[in-house]
Chain A
Amino acid sequence: MTAFVIRRLLQSAVVVFVMSLIVFFGVNVVGDPVDMLINPEADQEDIERAIRALGLDRPIGEQYFYFVKGALSGDFGRSFIFGEPALKLVLQRMPATFELAFTALVMAIVFGIPLGLYAGLRPNALSSKTIMAGSILGFSLPTFWVGLMLIMVFAVMLGWLPATGRGEVATILGISSSLFTLDGLSHILLPAFNLALLKISLVIRLTRAGTREAIYQDYIKFARAKGLSENRIIFVHLLKNILIPVVTVLGLEFGNLVAFSVVTETIFAWPGMGKLLIDSIQQLDRPVIVAYLIVIVLLFVLINLIVDVLYSVLDPRVRIGESQT
């Protein structure tokens, strides 16, 4: 277990290092850093000063050093548009994105696992085939287009739910979230469902495939031969086996949801990090882009780490296997 965690930590460190190199070279070498990091409206003297301040006249190795140093102290420069520190802007938007991604994840679990289990247990039933057809559709539907259609149907045509914004936010236990107010809930429903659709399909397919495979395993048959009730066989023997991969994948998918919220947030004007990123790309607000990328890289590394450890805790074969050998 120790070696396992150390291995993962080392790998994470390498990932962060490599990604910082890529972002650095992307911004400072491939593009023109003067264009990218300095407000285009500055005059010549300002530019000269900024170049010196940013160390752009120094050798490349030294530049990277300053980049890392700045990044470590949380300094990615100020946004051209808002005039505020870029990192602060990104972090401010983070709770809204997390809230959206979290809600979508819950939806994926709540819809995906039961439907997948059902379809796996009765593969030939018409209802199961419908579920699977639906999951292929959910897999194929382009997220952004579904978002538009959701707005058109539920906001424009039916007028049931609001189309844009985050709605009212309440603070409970120091966490402010729109999940705590009715208005907020009505606002989050459409975007969260939009974001969750792909994941619901994914979870259905994963759960079904796991069920189909497990159901023919000898241990299930042996459990039947022991005379266990069908409920115990399904909810203990089967589910415990298939949940290990599903939980692992879902953990990794949380990061994916955060990344994909870029699309959903743009459509539903959800004030999260993703919308900030797209706005910044379109307005060439480079410091914010850099800050976003670094934050998201760290986030992913963290998620991967947690999921790996979680997996090894869930699966006794990994948990105990390592310490024994």
Chain B
Amino acid sequence: MTTTANQDPEIAPTELAGQFQSPFRRFVSDFFESWVATVAFALFLVIVFGALFAPLISPQDPYDLAQVDVMESRLPPGSMSYQGYTFLLGTDGAGRDLFSAILYGLRISLSVGVVSGIIAMIIGSSVGLTAAYCGGRVEALIMRIVDLQLSFPAILIALMLLAVFGKGVDKIMIALVTVQWAYYARTVRSTAIVERQKEYVEAARCLGLSHKRVLFHHILPNCLAPLIVVVTVQTAHAIALEATLSFLGVGLPQTEPSLGLLISNGFEYMLSGRYWISFFPGIALLLTIVSINLVGDQLRDVLNPRLQR
């Protein structure tokens, strides 16, 4: 059942006016139609905000030795500090305020995830677009590599790389980019191939427009929707993967305490019932990933061409 604008120019040209909406505004209003997605998006903004302004919000700088007292270690949530503020989420084994440590950890987790996600997206989509554009042997070669890589789980490839390279922020970013670029390449290429075969591309070529113009002005904008969905999913993956690797002790070094490391550090206190040291950083990680995934889920629905009216 089509419910699109059905007026005729010869009869009522002005009747269309009420339905005028640019694709972007339509997209925005569709997106916020779901309250779950709206809440998730707000939550994600709060998390990003907390991470960005961690030094201003957190009661203590957990990595300034002058502010941390070992005597205050492993205090349960709600305990008072000597300085007079409350340890909202308790303290860890070294006496750091967990709430502050989580905010600082979020900074690291988010930046590692997002930065490597962006690099992977740039590399992956250029490669994918190149494949779709060149076709033939270049495409076959690129897609073979992509298929090869995608047939192995991300964590395995990351472990392989880290086993060779060792720990470090740069190392883990290399690992994350290596793991992720192939997803972007595959998505962009497959969408571009579909778009390339549509009649509007034939029409553009018939109109004598240059290859470059057709590629960047006609095909690329139509590949953005699936790309955006993959960006959200992959960013969530990257954050989770970094946390996992750091937890396993092969990711970030102790000097860069991301959420994964915080959880790992709390592991040893778990069996003695001091749950909060692992629990709260885990919740922070979970909320970050859930909010991104929920946003991605709604994006998938809103941008799905098959569901579009």
A interface residues with partner B (beta carbon < 8 Å)? 14-15, 18, 22-23, 26-27, 30-31, 136-137, 139-145, 148-149, 151-152, 156-157, 163, 252, 255-256, 259-260, 262-263, 266-267, 277-278, 281-282, 289, 293, 296-297, 300, 304
Contact = CB atoms under 8 A, between A and B. Distances in A.
Contacts, number: 106
Contact of B249 (A15, A136, A282, A304): A282
A297 B271 CA distance: 36
A31 B164 contact: yes
Given A260-B153, A263-B244, A289 B163 contact: yes
B279 A259 contact: no
B104 interface: no
A140 B295 CA distance: 12
B282 A148 contact: yes
A252 B151 CA distance: 8
Contacts of B297: 136
Interface string B236-270: 10001001100111100000000010010011001
Interface stretch (B19-27, B124-132, B283-291): B283-291
Interface of B: 144, 148, 151-153, 155-156, 159-165, 236, 240, 243-244, 247-250, 260, 263, 266-267, 270-271, 273, 275, 278-279, 282, 285-286, 289-290, 293-294, 297
A259 B249 contact: no
A140 B282 contact: no
A26 B175 CA distance: 13
A262 B153 CA distance: 12
B248 A136 contact: no
A136 B294 contact: yes
B151 A300 contact: yes
Nearest to A256: B153
B155 A263 contact: yes
Given A140-B293, A145-B278, A281-B250, A304 B244 contact: no
A136 B155 contact: no
Nearest to B236: A140
Contacts of A278: 248-250
B290 A15 contact: no
A30 B153 contact: no
A29 to B, nearest CB: 10
Contacts of B250: 278, 281-282
A57 B162 CA distance: 26
Contacts of B267: 148, 267
A35 to B, nearest CB: 11
Contacts of B163: 26, 281, 289, 293
Contacts of B294: 136
A26 B278 CA distance: 34
Contact of A262 (B155, B161, B285, B290): B155
A26 B273 CA distance: 42
A188 B271 CA distance: 19
B254 to A, nearest CB: 14
A266 B151 contact: no
Contact of A151 (B161, B244, B248, B270): B270
A296 B156 contact: yes
A142 B289 CA distance: 9
Nearest to A286: B163
Contact of B156 (A14, A163, A259, A267): A259
Which of B151, B273, B293 is the most central at the interface, judged by chain A CB atoms within 10 Å of its CB? B151
Contacts of B243: 142, 144-145
B247 to A, nearest CB: 5
B159 A281 contact: yes
Contacts of A263: 155, 244, 247-248
A156 B273 contact: yes
A144 B271 contact: no
A256 B163 CA distance: 19
Which 10 pairs show the lowest CB-CB distances between chains A and B? A145-B282, A140-B289, A259-B153, A26-B164, A259-B156, A140-B290, A256-B153, A144-B247, A140-B293, A281-B163
Contact of A143 (B159, B165, B244, B266): B244
Contacts of B293: 136, 139-140
A261 B174 CA distance: 23
Contact of A152 (B151, B270, B286): B270
Contacts of A141: 286, 289
B168 to A, nearest CB: 14
Given A139-B293, A152-B270, A262-B155, A145 B160 contact: no
Which of B163, B165, B285, B290 is the most central at the interface, judged by chain A CB atoms within 10 Å of its CB? B163
